[in-house]
Amino acid sequence: MDIKTKKEVKKEVKPNKPKAHKAWLAGYVFIALGCLALYVLIYYHAIDFFGNFRLLILRLSLASGIVFIIFALTKTAELIIIKKRHDRTAHYNVIRLIRLLSVFIALFVIVTFLFQKWYTAAVSLGLFSLVMGFALQTPISSLIGWFYIIIRTPYKVGDRIQVGTFTGDVVEISYLDTTLWEFGGNYLTNDMPSGRLIRFPNTMVLQSQVYNYSWEKFPYIWNEIPFHVAYESNLPVVEEIIKRVSIKELGDDMLKNIQTFKELVEQTPVDELNIKEYPYVTFRINANTWVEVTVTYLVDPKKAAGIRTRLIQSILDEFNKVPDKILFPNSNSR
């Protein structure tokens, strides 16, 4: 399954998500009403067989009712956010933040109702946090890494990235780890999806370099293809064919992308770069017995393999149409 097909499958599945959210919302509301009803019955002694545990059950029922009301409000907010499909990445992050906040509020409510005195609750919570802090150092640092990802956005869902030795397309950013759909890998020599999933802790973004190939302002990379021709070839013809075929295959959008790249460079303290208006060709003498011709061009990183294949096929077809002007190295000289 290629990337495009996977995205299409995701789009087909997404419309069913609101139904699942509505089911969860109905469940939360039902449980909340049940807990509150139990609280009322116990409070007015309609149910009075808990004995010494009456006060504890009373507090738990009220706390549970409030907690499930919080969860119901969270699902309601998620439904409202899902209906607005302007920026799915931002919605994804907002929903994650809302869920985390709802969990913290729910824990606060439970602690508040279980302890009569704030001092006792604070001391107990402090000791618990101290013990858990030592026991869960790695998960806590990964949670901090998640906050860093949300605030600084070194990458987002859908981006093609490299973190350390891991390369892939981001499919999920959870509180503790990130999941990539790997491209390349140990079994491929190109940048096609390998079919494997990579999951690494979010703490890695605080310790390793993050390479993002899908920067929102400029989601393209420079790529190049080398060709080998004999010394006797007509090099101006070689250059003309490569440029003409590249422009035809890449389309006019490349000119706009290069202009965008220039504007981004001008906004930085970096000195102005010598950026060509077209895919440009360079020549160099190979260590063997031929001339190496390299074409450099802009490309979407997720389409690099397909475009590289089309360019090679089209350029070689054009080369073969003029065998008297473009010669290839002899097989016995390679």
289 burial via Cβ count (<10 Å: 0-12, 13-18, 19+)? middle
pLDDT > 70: percent of the chain: 80
d(CA 276, CA 85): 38
Please give the residue that has the higher pLDDT: either 15 or 106: 106
Q: What is the pTM of this model?
A: 0.61
List the one residue out of 278, 223, 284 whose CA is nearest residue 252: 278
Q: At residue 155, what are phi and psi to the nearest 5 degrees? A: -160, 165
Q: Where are the alpha helices (DSSP H) in 222-303?
A: 235-250, 253-266
- At 11 the pLDDT is 43
Q: Domain limits of the chain?
A: 3-135, 151-212, 221-333
Output the CA torsion sign for 321, 327, 330, 333: negative
> Within 10 A of 331 (CB to CB), how many other CB atoms are there?
6
DSSP state of 330: P
Q: What separation in angstroms does the CA of 326 have from each of 113, 225, 227, 228?
A: 84, 17, 12, 10
Phi/psi at 195 (5° precision): 95, -5
Whole-number pLDDT of residue 104: 82
Is residue 224 predicted with pLDDT exceeding 80? yes
Q: Is residue 137's pLDDT more than 80?
A: no
45-59, 140-154, 268-282: least confident range: 268-282
**DSSP 3-state assignment of 271?**
coil
For residue range 80-136, list pLDDT tens digits in order: 877 776 666 667 777 778 888 888 888 888 777 766 555 555 555 565 565 555 556
Rounded to 5 degrees, φ, ψ at 276 are -75, 150
User: Measured between alpha carbons, how far is 215 from 309 in angstroms, rounded to an integer?
Assistant: 24
C-alpha torsion 174→178→183→189, nearest 10:
-170
Instruction: Express the helix, strand and coil content of the chain in percent, nearest 5 each.
Output: 60, 15, 25
Q: Which of 267, 260, 263, 269 is nearest to 298 (CA)?
A: 260
Per-residue pLDDT, averaged over 199-206, amounts to: 91
Percent residues over pLDDT 90 in the chain = 18
- Work out whether strand 210-212 and strand 193-201 pair parallel, antiparallel, or are unpaired: unpaired
**What is the pLDDT, as a whole number, of residue 130?**
55
Lowest-confidence segment of 8-17, 35-44, 68-77 by average pLDDT: 8-17
Q: Which residue has the tokens 């790695």?
A: 138
- DSSP letter at 267? T
Q: For 24-61, how does the pLDDT look when each residue is reduced to its tens digit (9 = 90+)?
A: 888 889 998 998 888 888 888 788 777 778 888 888 88
How many Å apart are CA 57 and CA 160, to the nearest integer? 51
Question: At the topology level of CATH, where does 151-212 sit?
Answer: SH3 type barrels. (2.30.30)
Question: 203-207: which pairs have CB atoms within 8 A and are 24 or more residues apart?
Answer: 203/138, 203/141, 203/142, 203/144, 203/145, 204/145, 204/163, 204/164, 205/145, 205/148, 205/149, 205/154, 205/163, 205/178, 206/141, 206/144, 206/145, 206/148
Tell me: pLDDT of 299 over 80: yes
Which residue has 């140990």 as its token pair?
186
Q: Determine how many CB atoms are found less than 10 A away from the CB of residue 100.
A: 15
Q: What is the rounded average pLDDT for all residues in the chain?
A: 79
CATH of 221-333, one of 3.40.50.280, 3.30.465.10, 3.30.70.100, 3.90.1150.10: 3.30.70.100
Local structure of 2: helix, strand or coil:
coil
Task: Check: CB of residue 156 under 8 Å from CB of residue 180.
Answer: no
Average pLDDT of the residues in 64-77: 88
**For 35, how many CA atoms within 13 A lie in the half-sphere containing its CB?**
19
